[in-house]
Amino acid sequence: MGEQEANVPLQPDADTGDQEEGFTIDPSQIEQGIKDQMKPEEIKNLDRVLDEGNKLLFGKDTHYQLMDGLKDSKDIPGDLGNGAFTLLMMLYKGGGYTMPPELMMPTGAILLSRACAFLSQSGMIPVTDDDYEESMHVYTVKLHSTLDPSFKQRMDQSLGQQQPQPQTGGILNQGAQP
Amino acid sequence: MPFPAIAAAIATAASSAMAAVGTVGLAGLAQGAMIVGTGMSVIGGITGNKTLTKIGMGIGLAGGVGALANGMRGASMMSTGGKGLLAADGIETALSAPTKGSGLKTFAPIDASRPLPVDAFNNSSAGLGFDGKFDPEFEKTYFQRANDTLTKYNTTLNIAGCMGQAYMQGEQMDLQKDLLDKRLDFEQQLVDRVATNNGTVLEGINPSISAANTGRNSTAYSGMLRGA
């Protein structure tokens, strides 16, 4: 994949395991680690989604808007995580709502790692591994809290709060329920 | 794209996502979380990057597979060299019990030459101080952080926690705009009708009666028409 090759990976700190300053995570390793868990057909679909994601992330029409938005950001991880969620929703809509749900997390994880690597390598915005972790957290929480009604139930249960009534659909899906 | 337009686009896409995921089933979403969680844990275990391991564990919890961690660890201990993840009886049991994770059966067999994902998961989590056991405290910490995240970013786009509210707000605004447009059209029609009426000469009708009954201005039409 051309776009993938364009992102020259950084060397991970495999020796010490200590977290150095900067972004030490290798996006291609993330991608490979994820793809190792998938079937060939799923990988093919994932590559298609990633190609489209790259067009949004690094395309001439949207790239500079994205960079300008991040340049003035006071919350890089939050903006990255929220941006990844936005990006995924755009991809989902652009694909006619046919993207398999199992590709949503892998797509976000890989595209976020590519974005972090790009920001770090370009020197435009200092990004660290912790920023990636935080942005992944934001992305994951937003995705699951939006699409998975059981997420909030488990969260409430874990935090010892009052259990809401069991839902058969998500927040937005309630209207679709008979 | 301006912010409201983006928000509307996301709202539409997310609501559609809700409907689609709801019909397809949430197993796919959980499967995706498991894929990424396992992949991150494996890479974290190989490279020694604890950040990746932490991400993997968090995603696992978010996807609802955190509760399976104990079962996974047990299955890992049961599995013998080269035996795939799904070949372990404990995993089959764990996967068949909850509604989530049914899609996990689509996982590819794992190469025997590489460390098992569950082993990587165990090793990495042990490195984080979990001592080889699923720690409810980690789950609580994770969900507390998730709650904080939802609270923090709820005001940004109103997507995460109150996606439906944002969507309904947009719908209501559209509805109000439609109503306003219709009212404007109606008023415009009224103005046009009055203008038309006022431009028509009513011969043989007492202007005072005409004005009282039709609401028209009896002196509105031009002098040229009057003289005609």
The answer to the question of residue A164 being in a domain is no
Tokens read off for A57: 């992330």
CA distance A84 to chain B (A): 12
Span A123-151, pLDDT tens digits: 888 899 999 999 999 999 999 888 888 88
B residues 38-97 near A, CB within 8 Å? 38-40, 42-43, 46-52, 54-55, 58-59, 62-64
The answer to the question of residue A135 being in a domain is yes
With cut-offs at 50, 70 and 90, classify the pLDDT of residue A176.
Answer: very low
The answer to the question of residue A8 being in a domain is no
Tokens read off for B105: 């059966």
Residue B106 has pLDDT above 90, yes or no: no
Q: Which residue in A127, A147, A156 has the most chain B C-beta atoms within 10 A of its own C-beta, making it the best mutation to test that interface?
A: A147
- Name which residue leads in pLDDT, B91 or A173: A173
Q: Residue B94 and residue B88: Cα distance in Å, rounded?
A: 10
What pLDDT does residue B210 have? Answer: 56
Greatest alpha-carbon span in chain A: 57
Residues spanned by the domain of A126:
24-147
- Name which residue leads in pLDDT, B169 or A81: A81
What is the domain count for chain A? 1
Span B194-209, pLDDT tens digits: 888 777 666 666 656 5
Tell me, what DSSP letter sits at residue B133?
S
**What mean pLDDT value characterizes chain B?**
62
| Three-class secondary structure of residue B6 per DSSP | helix
- Name which residue leads in pLDDT, A173 or A92: A92
Q: Report the candidate in A119, A147, A148 with the shortest Cα–Cα distance to residue A132.
A: A119
Q: Residue B51 and residue B44: Cα distance in Å, rounded?
A: 7
Q: Report the candidate in B76, B175, B171 with the shortest Cα–Cα distance to residue B133.
A: B76
A residues 51-90 near B, CB within 8 Å? 78, 82, 85-86, 89-90
Span B107-155, pLDDT tens digits: 344 455 555 555 555 555 554 444 445 567 778 888 889 888 888 886 4
Residue A5 has pLDDT above 60, yes or no: no
The answer to the question of residue A43 being in a domain is yes
B152 contact residues in A (CB cutoff 8 A): 78
Q: Do A102 and B103 touch (CB under 8 A)?
A: yes
Residue A47 has pLDDT above 90, yes or no: yes
The answer to the question of residue A132 being in a domain is yes
Residue B156 has pLDDT above 80, yes or no: no
What pLDDT does residue B97 have? Answer: 36
Long-range interactions of A58-67: CB distance < 8 A, separation 24+: A58/A3, A58/A6, A58/A118, A67/A124
The answer to the question of residue A172 being in a domain is no
Q: Report the candidate in B75, B66, B30 with the shortest Cα–Cα distance to residue B143.
A: B66
Cα–Cα–Cα angle for B133, B134, B140, rounded to 5 degrees? 140
10 Å CB burial of residue A74 (0-12, 13-18, 19+) is: exposed
10 Å CB burial of residue B145 (0-12, 13-18, 19+) is: middle
Cα–Cα–Cα angle for A116, A117, A119, rounded to 5 degrees? 65
CB B35 within 8 A of CB A37: yes
Q: Report the candidate in B74, B110, B80, B112 with the shortest Cα–Cα distance to residue B93.
A: B74
Closest B-chain CA to A144: B62
Residue A103 has pLDDT above 90, yes or no: yes
**What mean pLDDT value characterizes chain A?**
79
The answer to the question of residue A117 being in a domain is yes
- Name which residue leads in pLDDT, A122 or B221: A122
The answer to the question of residue A158 being in a domain is no
The mean pLDDT value for A82-108 works out to 89
Contact B126/A at CB under 8 A: no
Q: Do B146 and A105 touch (CB under 8 A)?
A: no
B50 contact residues in A (CB cutoff 8 A): 17, 19
Span B39-91, pLDDT tens digits: 998 999 899 898 998 898 888 888 876 444 444 433 333 333 333 333 333 33
Span A49-80, pLDDT tens digits: 999 999 888 888 778 877 887 888 889 999 99
Q: Residue A49 and residue A12: Cα distance in Å, rounded?
A: 26
